[in-house]
Structure 1
Amino acid sequence: MNQDARKELTTLSLREKAATFAKETVSTQMKSFKRFGVWADWDNPYLTLSPDYEAAQIEVFGQMAMRGYIYRGRKPVHWSPSSRTALAEAELEYPEGHTSKSIYAMFKIISASPAAGSHLAEFFPHLCLTIWTTTPWTIPANAAVAVNPDLLYVVAEVKSALQGASTSSGGKQLNLGRILLSGERKPFLIVALDLVSTLESKWGVNLVIRKTFPGSDLEHCRYIHPVTGNDCPVVIGGDYITTESGTGLVHTAPGHGQEDYITGLKYGLPILSPVDDGGKFTEEAGQFNGLDVLGDGNAAIVKYIDEHSLLLLEEPYKHKYPYDWRTKKPTIFRATEQWFASVDGFRQTAMEAISKVTWIPSQAENRIVAMTASRSDWCISRQRNWGLPIPVFYHVHSKEPLITEETIAHVKTIVSNKGSDAWWYMSVEDLLPEKYRSKASDYQKGTDTMDVWFDSGSSWAAVLEKREGLSFPADLYLEGTDQHRGWFQSSLLTSIATTGKAPYSSVITHGFVLDEKGLKMSKSLGNVVDPDIVIAGGKNPKDGPGYGADVLRLWVSSVDYTGDVLIGPQILRQMSDIYRKLRGTLRFLLSNLHDWKPDYAVPYDELPKIDQHALFQLENVVKTIKENYESYQFYKIFQIIQRFAIVDLSNFYLDVAKDRLYVGGSSSFTRRTCQTVLAEHILSTVRIIAPILPHLAEDVWQNLPYEHKMDDGSITRFVFELKWPDVNEKWLSMPADEVEFWGVILEMRSEVNRVLENARTGKLIGSSLEAKVYLHVADDAISSRLKEVCIGKNDADQLHRIFITSQVEILATLNDEMVAQIPYTGSYSDEKASEVWIGVSRADGMKCERCWNYTTQVGTFDQHPTLCARCYNVVDVHPLPAVVGVS
């Protein structure tokens, strides 16, 4: 909407448009959040523009006002000329590339203080204070020059231009150089001692120090105002005046700066601000009346100072400067009548409450402490037609505000029933409670609305304890790092002021999303990653494939959100690969439970050791993941799931399990024990991934080939009806030596695979089932244990099954002759520095046509001469089961 069209709107029509726009935006964002898989009460969201929320906010305001924390005062605030309202710090942004017109100027001293008289008398009438400012437009509001009493200052005589100095350079206008070249009387300049050499270089002149004295001596000196000609004082400032830049003397305009304002209060300086709501000079600025302070007004001030021979140097100055986050235009500091919350009244309580909150990451506490400790009084009023009105009436003549417990309660009731629009369409008489109606003609409604951060900062009051199932304080507040000065702080301040407690028990802060190169995303760079396109895909599927919401959620879980995070096409492809592997693992579990029923489960004590160890690992994973969920360390959950489901589970247990799942017979004991483990894995895995990958978890659950009953006997329809897996202490009770032994087995398996790969490369074998493995372990205890496994009664635990070879032989001794007969060998030292030797040769016997294992038993059965004993028994007793494949 253009400015002309906006001017045609009435207050109520503008508010209607604003409300419509807000609700449409909420609807759009809600749609996206639903697609992302965010779980919330979407049918009953809390909105800051709903009457019940507005009423709760007015109640917070009223409680603060009645406790003396709300007051009206005139002091400088961030002001946006483009939107004609005061702004909070959180409503500002600081874009790169802003350049201000900075100047060095002289303010002529007309009288010295008693302390400085002996130092300065000889330099009159050419003695000048020297200031530097990046806001020349504030000079009409100058009320003093401030110095640091603890710094040393000097009277410097300008002797000559430095060799090679010119009147202009790099955009600078060297007016002092022109003075030297013109032969005019050279001024004596007061500057900080530590800045003399810096100023010589910048101005291109020689400065000769004539006197040195402390800044405290300058107090009570008087100078002529450079624009009005008034008599002004030099005052003592404080440690905020440094020698990092400038001259060590600070042009002070209490109406246009926070530190200037504080200095002004201390020394009783006038708070001048000759600037109107649109950022133009008022009549108080004299000849500059009507000029834009950020445009032609600023230039006019510089020209005026130059024409009166007070300008030393003008140069562009690049720095961070506040802009209005809505209009994207620069702001100013301007003293206006506003409503403030006096943070000093409850700052200490807020600081104490901060220490009782859990901050994630922990360093976030330092940030909120620093921002709260340094927080000046909070300007809570805004000059807007949209938003919640500040419920105050003003006397028509005296302008004194009427704000009482009765008036606030009455307005709250009206707003609760009719919404905040009532403030604009109802009369003052109707808005006032009964006891004030006889004097209604003496009052008028205020037009200020509340700061949006007061709106959002009242959410704890509007939501907690007012909705079923919620209580105060909230378990968690979650937002970006910028909210330490925004929502986190405004919520804290309003809650402390009214309840004495923080509104949250824990706070999580996250960084910002950058592109793959670590650059901030922008449309101009073309590096924006749109979540909707990540999910649904772009116009060209090849360049922008649709990954679905779970891949995006998986990426979120993979990053350490406590800092800025990167995202881009390559990262998303990697996430998609990991997602597909995880999905493949879950598909394998499902497909091999197609004929499973919970009644088939084998008791834990009867399971093979490999199955018991698999459940031990599963339980530890579930336990660790729960701990990480509770501490919000999602990237650790991602790492655990990736390593366990995709690496540990798929590459070991499921790889080994294929033989007994596909070969041992549909109802064999070893298949049932394996299915017992797979069923436990599927039940636990869907629950631990559901918060991160809800769509995948639900997809798995809907394809579960058997019914799962809850504790009350009812059938679980959806994955989120499940509770977190109960801790199974029995699974965790595997003896330490058994756990250690399986660690040895897994390490040994990796080393055996290395030698098998060498044998495969050397064409000795193709499949690992064509191999026989020889092992010699120096540690007698481990060697003995390995022999037990090799000849164990439980086929699933035998080493050749674990190595997926046809045979394994444990060698009691090892000699050169034996080593020479084995074509491929290798060795390593285990964690106990025990030597392990590995050999690989062709397997003995013939290949079983059904299971592909090599054994001397093949050919011994007349009816099925191509089968081994295991396959013979399966085929002879049962029909050959269909092999379940995984696509």
Structure 2
Amino acid sequence: MVAGGEVKGNIYYLNEYAAKRLNLKIEKKIKGKELVGLKYISPFDGLSGIKKALGKYEHEVVATDEKILPVSEEEGTGLVHVAPGAGSEDYKLGKKLDLPVIELVDEEAAYISDLGEFSGKNAKKHPEIILDYLKENPEYLFDIVPYTHRYPACWRCKTELVWRVVDEWYIAMEPLREPLKKVTQKINWLPKFGLKREIDWLDNMHDWLISKKRYWGLALPIWECSQCGHFEVIGSKDELREKALEGWEKFDGNSPHRPWVDEVKIKCEKCGKKMQRIPDVGNPWLDAGIVPFSTVSTDNKSEPLYWKDKGEWEKWYPADFITESFPGQFKNWFYSLLAMSTVLENSEPFKTVLGFATLLGEDGRPMHKSWGNSIEFNEGADKIGVDVMRWMYVRQDPSLNLLFGYKVADETRR
């Protein structure tokens, strides 16, 4: 790190590479760690919403964690701004260093209230308003230059995204890491490398995000007090009926989904106020994970045997065999089944799992309409023939990806 010469009446700190690129005279060389702890002010500190979010916190230079947010010497200035509310790596570093997380935009990517001239304006549609603001406050601005960098986009439709910080609900998975690994090792994995992949996921898993900002879905059975912040997880309909202060008659007889379940209010054990169910619905994998417990009944319709007759249920548990595509299920279905069964029974939910690989286009890429390499089934059946298609599948090692297309089909036919 160097202290560059005077530019526009100021001394600038930047790395040596940047100083040379800008042809600045180097006044002094120092180590980056010497800057740690220095206080500074930000261009946006005067906005009331920022003041409120910061509280007594003062901006200061912090040392990064290279495993979380590496800072390159070859690009930029050697100094980066950490925004815990606007990026995954920034959030992780901010959490480690106990930095404040500032909420800036709403669900439509519009700046929220208390942000002065930015409030109500859309951050995604009008990014230039930040540059305009800095130009009007030149004491914070060194230079504006075109810069190419990676930007987050939707994996499905490629729409550019805007980072937004929101409150979510998680299951703390660290206490379950070792118990999960022990249960996983009791299972027969086909192919054998499946065990290694699942263990690798468990070794690196984070807390499990279980909430979704949607209307349709599994209503999370969590009631929260808006007065004191106390929350309570309800374990059954019977428990909810016993604790209901109002709304039970509107919920009774309906499925445990919105809007009916939202009618039920219960009493806060801490302050005595009415508690409301949180608006979030559950991650679909919560549902998928309780299949061994929720689907086995005498007629596939009545109360699950797990609650009604556990002795009978144990005759069906664990499942002898399941099969699913390997690539995504180590962190999805296999993971959720293992998590639920470990917590509830501390045992494996299935004895054997066969994982199969992926169907790809004959160019080796996933099939997508937007890429022009997808084949609609009826079209493929007409041109290839169903017997040829069947043979392509039955001769394939399920642990290997299958390349599918007209050229591959012609080779198979011959």
Distance apart, 1:566 and its partner CA: 1.0
2:377 corresponds to 1:557: no
- Distance in 1 of aligned mates of 2:29 and 2:183: 49
Residue number in structure 1 paired with 2:132:
303
Distance apart, 1:234 and its partner CA: 1.2
- Distance in 2 of aligned mates of 1:501 and 1:416: 34
SS in structure 2 at match of 1:157: strand
Q: Deviations over 1:204-243 (max 9, x none)?
A: 4225554444443322111111322575111233223434
Kept in 1: contact 2:213–2:280 (CA 8 A): yes
Distance apart, 1:380 and its partner CA: 0.9
Q: Counterparts of 1:190-201 in structure 2 under 5 Å?
A: 190-191=14-15, 196-197=16-17, 199=18
RMSD, matched Cα: 3.7
Residue number in structure 1 paired with 2:54:
none
- Distance in 2 of aligned mates of 1:408 and 1:312: 65
Aligned residue type for 1:447: P
Residue number in structure 2 paired with 1:424:
259
2:29 corresponds to 1:157: no
Distance apart, 1:366 and its partner CA: 4.2
Kept in 1: contact 2:4–2:14 (CA 8 A): no
Residue number in structure 2 paired with 1:512:
358
Kept in 1: contact 2:5–2:26 (CA 8 A): no
Kept in 1: contact 2:84–2:101 (CA 8 A): yes
Distance apart, 1:342 and its partner CA: 0.7
- CA 1:504 to 1:242, structure 2 compared with 1: closer, same or farther past 3 Å? same
SS in structure 1 at match of 2:389: helix
Residue number in structure 2 paired with 1:455:
287
Pairing partner for 2:150 from 316, 319, 325: 319
Residue number in structure 1 paired with 2:230:
400
- Distance in 2 of aligned mates of 1:502 and 1:250: 46
Pairing partner for 1:251 from 75, 78, 81: 81
Q: Counterparts of 1:145-544 in structure 2 under 5 Å?
A: 154-157=1-4, 184-185=8-9, 187-191=11-15, 196-197=16-17, 199=18, 204-228=21-45, 231-240=58-67, 241-244=69-72, 246-296=76-126, 298-309=127-138, 310-317=141-148, 319=150, 321-323=152-154, 325=156, 329-405=159-235, 409-410=239-240, 418-421=254-257, 423-425=258-260, 428=263, 442-463=274-295, 470-535=316-381, 537=382, 544=383
- CA 1:498 to 1:266, structure 2 compared with 1: closer, same or farther past 3 Å? same
SS in structure 1 at match of 2:399: coil
Distance apart, 1:282 and its partner CA: 0.8
SS in structure 2 at match of 1:235: coil
2:409 corresponds to 1:572: yes
Distance apart, 1:343 and its partner CA: 1.1
Q: Counterparts of 1:756-775 in structure 2 under 5 Å?
A: none
SS in structure 2 at match of 1:575: helix
- Distance in 1 of aligned mates of 2:358 and 2:348: 25
- Distance in 2 of aligned mates of 1:576 and 1:362: 32
Aligned residue type for 1:451: N
- CA 1:307 to 1:512, structure 2 compared with 1: closer, same or farther past 3 Å? farther
Q: Counterparts of 1:571-610 in structure 2 under 5 Å?
A: 571-577=408-414
- Distance in 2 of aligned mates of 1:396 and 1:530: 51
SS in structure 2 at match of 1:566: strand
- CA 1:322 to 1:561, structure 2 compared with 1: closer, same or farther past 3 Å? farther
Distance apart, 1:251 and its partner CA: 1.4
- Distance in 2 of aligned mates of 1:369 and 1:259: 24
SS in structure 1 at match of 2:167: strand
Kept in 2: contact 1:478–1:509 (CA 8 A): yes
Aligned residue type for 2:346: G
Kept in 1: contact 2:64–2:70 (CA 8 A): no
Q: Deviations over 1:550-605 (max 9, x none)?
A: 4323211223443432111232234345xxxxxxxxxxxxxxxxxxxxxxxxxxxx
Structure with the higher fraction of residues in helix conformation: 1
Distance apart, 1:473 and its partner CA: 4.5
Kept in 2: contact 1:253–1:261 (CA 8 A): yes
SS in structure 2 at match of 1:252: coil
Aligned residue type for 1:221: L
Aligned residue type for 2:260: Y
Distance apart, 1:289 and its partner CA: 0.9
SS in structure 1 at match of 2:378: helix
- CA 1:359 to 1:565, structure 2 compared with 1: closer, same or farther past 3 Å? same
Kept in 2: contact 1:391–1:403 (CA 8 A): yes
Aligned residue type for 1:425: W
Residue number in structure 1 paired with 2:301:
none
Number of residues paired by the alignment?
A: 377
SS in structure 2 at match of 1:481: helix
- Distance in 2 of aligned mates of 1:560 and 1:450: 36
Kept in 2: contact 1:391–1:411 (CA 8 A): no
- Distance in 1 of aligned mates of 2:185 and 2:293: 22
Kept in 1: contact 2:2–2:14 (CA 8 A): yes
Distance apart, 1:481 and its partner CA: 0.5
Distance apart, 1:306 and its partner CA: 4.3
- Distance in 1 of aligned mates of 2:228 and 2:218: 25
Structure 2 residue runs of 5 or longer lacking an equivalent are 52-57, 243-247, 298-303, 306-312
Residue number in structure 2 paired with 1:628:
none
- Distance in 2 of aligned mates of 1:365 and 1:329: 36
Q: Deviations over 1:620-665 (max 9, x none)?
A: xxxxxxxxxxxxxxxxxxxxxxxxxxxxxxxxxxxxxxxxxxxxxx
- CA 1:533 to 1:518, structure 2 compared with 1: closer, same or farther past 3 Å? same
Kept in 2: contact 1:155–1:211 (CA 8 A): yes
- CA 1:218 to 1:157, structure 2 compared with 1: closer, same or farther past 3 Å? closer
